[in-house]
Amino acid sequence: MTDFNKTRAMFDIPEGMIYLNGNSLGPMPKAAPEAINNFLHDEWKTELIKGWNTKGWWMQTNTLGDRVGRLIGAPEGTTVVSDTLSIKVFQAVSAGLALVPDRKVILSDNGNFPTDLYIAEGLIKLKDAEYELRIPDPEDVIDNITDEVAVVMVTEVDYRSGRKHDMSALIEKAHAVGAVVVWDLAHSCGAIPVDVMATDVDFAIGCTYKYVNGGPGAPAFIYVAPRLLDSVEPYLSGWYGHESPFAFDTDYRPMPGKIDRMRIGTPSIAAFSLLSAALDVWEDVDMTDLQKRSIDLSEMFIKEVEARCPGVTFAGPRDPMQRGSHVPFTFEHGYACMQALIANNVIGDFRAPNVMRFGITPLFINEEDIMKAVDRLADILSKETWKEERFQVRSKVT
């Protein structure tokens, strides 16, 4: 049984703050300062260039990749970390297209996070004519998986509504018609149980700065099914994924049969030190326990808001098994209301046009936090505090 009191004590959250935004940026683990300090003073400062060998920097893309892989059901040697999620989207989709060169359609949905769609659009511009991106409503994706489709690119958990795609059903149908699946786990990894092997996904990608708590801009990851490791084409081909990187050949030859071929360029070892500290928190966490706890806290939050906060409407799936680990509410003046909440030390976030999102992250959130957050929201609505002029000003980051 996972001890969530223990994990809560492993985070450094400001006194009095109720942090319901781990779905956007996880809080800092208490071990992070020591981890970065050790990197600065016991590795970079003392070892300099030797650190690639003496401190194992060269293989941290893989060793940390395996630790992230444990959270998504990936076997060792199938996941690497580095770069950004946008780059990993490009890597995965371009590699997927190469596996079915006679097809021209990338299928996603109009609820997907826009960056994924932007990356697909940019990739299409680099290809020959007739490639197209199709984005039906999320509920209609499965009906649009036909033998025209090359790559199905979907994010399991909708970033606004929290709705989950039925990934097993999507993957099964995609494979039945010969399509490749790229599964974006940005709102899944560290939030809900994931099993990339059991679902037989081709590629999975995700970030580590949300539920994994690796810090702002923490490195992204990419998983490749073992059956594809010797054939997948890394179209973003850098020296770090070369068969013989220190031969410095002018021709690219991908590392044969290994996930190493999906490495690109020199990674941020400083960022890796923070990610390693964050992954330490997960050592004794059972993902099934995590999901059950998330559901219990989410259901409490939804029930209390609906009972005590008039004008605020729940905007996610009612069935908790069809949700990720954040809950959305719509409110006509959602941006201003969220700013008032933040001013009252309840940190959620806003997504256009009128969605207030609240991350329910059991590693550091408990029942007392939930009740205090609802108390403050109810008070803001009752007093109409959100109408204050200071809460109407839009910041660059919402």
Residues designated as active site = 113, 184, 209-210, 357
Q: C-alpha angle 113/115/119, rounded to 5°?
A: 130
Distance CA 88, CA 103 (A): 21
The answer, yes or no, to whether the previous bond of 353 is cis (omega within 30 of 0) is yes
Distance CA 283, CA 64 (A): 13
| Nearest Cα to Cα of residue 108 among 35, 55, 158 | 158
- Stated as kind and residue range, the H or E segment containing 119 is helix 114-126
Distance CA 230, CA 43 (A): 34
- Ranges assigned E (strand) in the chain: 18-19, 79-81, 105-107, 132-134, 149-155, 180-184, 203-206, 221-224, 313-314, 326-330, 346-347, 349-351, 355-359
SS3 state of residue 73: coil
Distance CA 117, CA 134 (A): 10
| Pairing outcome for strands 313-314 and 221-224 | unpaired
